[in-house]
Amino acid sequence: MIVNPLQRIRSIKVKLSIVIVAAVVVTLAVNEIGLALNFRAGFRAGVAAIIALGMVQLMSRGMTSPLRSMERAATAMASGDLTKRVSASSSDEVGRLAAAFNHMADELAAEDQRRRELIANVSHELRTPISALRATLENVVDGVVAPEPALLRTMLAQTERLQRLVTQLLDLSRLESGGTPLHTLPFPVVDLLDAVADEASLHSPDLLFDVNIDPNDLVVDGDPERLHQVVANLVENAARFAPDDTAVVLTARRAGAHVVLEVTDEGPGIPEAARARVFERFYRTDEARSADDGGSGLGLAIARWIVELHGGTIRAEQVQPHGCRMIVNLPA
């Protein structure tokens, strides 16, 4: 393996200067030797040119190869092949450009993988209620079942699930693209939690929704509509897994320069290995149960995006002996 003698130099300008100076010195040296040996001028010039070119080729070895490699990789990427990478060991501008190119290629490959997973997940989520609706409608049309109220309510539930999924997909798309500006203002936390609890009571009458705020006049600076969406998604998720006749507790408190919102349920909780992933799009800890309960796997992802837009954090923790607590930390 031939080592590039200029590999450790961090500036391509310095490298080029060294190559030029070395070529001039070699040319002059060969010319002087030729004069001492009484060689003809043409012969001296030819020998000097050959030796100088060979030395330049050796010294500049590796300076331009990453550029050619990048050209080939870029051509392959334009054709859809995102696996190509550039090999460059130098520490100059070309080497740093190659490293940046590889980082860009890694990001594009990861984004392409996320896009493929999103398409697959969306297709699956849409196919499930559509298939159920189609099967039900075919049974009604064929006279297998009568269009009774219970059957129509099932069809309505599937339609509402489709509508909820499309709405959440649009929300998530706008959030990720930055197309949803925040309209922030100071507002009382009690209004936010009371409104969410009242709405949740209508949808889940078998559960008790408690609101605890300390102090009662606690104020948060944020977008009221978007933070309502965050808390509503957390409460909906808690209500989906909480046993009947148990309480879902909504609390708010001040912690230094932050406001902490918590939603606690008495459900089975979230395994430790899954707590960081529950905020990913379409992630479910229990695929079958979440699908049966109408969860889309997008509510917590939307909540995370909104919280991060506010400069806050969100996490899940286990409650002993059982249950889950979602904790939102927002700048006051």
Name the band, by pLDDT with cuts 50, 70 and 90, for residue 330.
very high
Are residues 152 and 216 located together in one domain of the fold?
Answer: no
Same domain, 199 and 276: yes
Alpha helices in the chain (DSSP H): 12-36, 41-59, 65-78, 93-141, 149-177, 189-203, 224-241, 287-292, 299-309
Q: Over pLDDT 70: what percentage of the chain?
A: 83
pLDDT at residue 291, rounded to an integer = 47
Q: Assess if residue 84 is contained within a domain.
A: no
Same domain, 173 and 226: no
Name the token pair of 317. 């923790």
Asked if residue 162 and residue 192 are part of one domain, the reply reads no
Most confident of 4-13, 269-278, 295-304: 269-278
Which stretch of 37-41, 244-248, 251-255, 311-315 has the lowest confidence by average pLDDT?
A: 37-41
170 lies in the same domain as 211: no
Give the confidence band of 295 by pLDDT, cuts at 50, 70, 90.
low
Residue 75 domain flag: no
| pLDDT value, residue 181 | 79
Asked if the structure places residue 27 within a domain, the reply is: yes
User: How far apart, in whole angstroms, are the C-alpha atoms of residue 82 and residue 108?
Assistant: 7
Q: Higher model confidence: residue 44 or residue 182? A: 182
For residue 156, what is the domain's CATH number? Answer: 1.10.287.130
Under the banding of pLDDT at 50, 70 and 90, the label for residue 290 is very low
Helix axes 224-241, 299-309, angle to 10 degrees: 150
Q: How far, in Å, CA of 191 to CA of 197, rounded?
A: 10
Asked whether residue 81 is domain-assigned, the answer is no
Q: Does residue 253 belong to any structural domain of this protein?
A: yes
Which amino acid, one-letter code, is at 269? G
Q: Does 38 share its domain with 159?
A: no
User: How large is the C-alpha radius of gyration of the chain?
Assistant: 33
Average pLDDT of every residue of the chain: 81
* Rounded mean pLDDT, 146-151: 82
Q: Are residues 169 and 268 part of one domain?
A: no
Verify that 142 and 159 share a domain, yes or no. Answer: yes
What is the structure's pLDDT at 91? Answer: 65
Tens-place pLDDT, residues 212-261: 999 999 999 999 988 998 999 999 889 988 999 999 999 999 999 999 99
Mean pLDDT of 13-26: 72
194 and 156 part of one domain: no
Q: Which domain holds residue 269?
A: 185-331
Say what percent of the chain tops pLDDT 90: 25
Asked if 173 and 196 sit in the same domain, the reply is: no
Tokens of 299: 């509510």
Q: 158 lies in a domain?
A: yes
Q: What's the rounded Cα separation, in Å, for the pair 26 and 38? A: 18
Q: Which of 282-286, 294-298, 315-319 has the highest mean pLDDT?
A: 315-319
| pLDDT greater than 90 at residue 23 | no
In the chain, the number of structural domains is 3
Do 35 and 172 lie in a common domain? no
Categorize the per-residue pLDDT at 92 as very low, low, confident or very high, splitting at 50, 70 and 90: low
Query: Exposed e or buried b for every residue in 187-196, given b needs 16+ CB within 10 A?
Result: ebbbebbeeb
Same domain, 249 and 318: yes
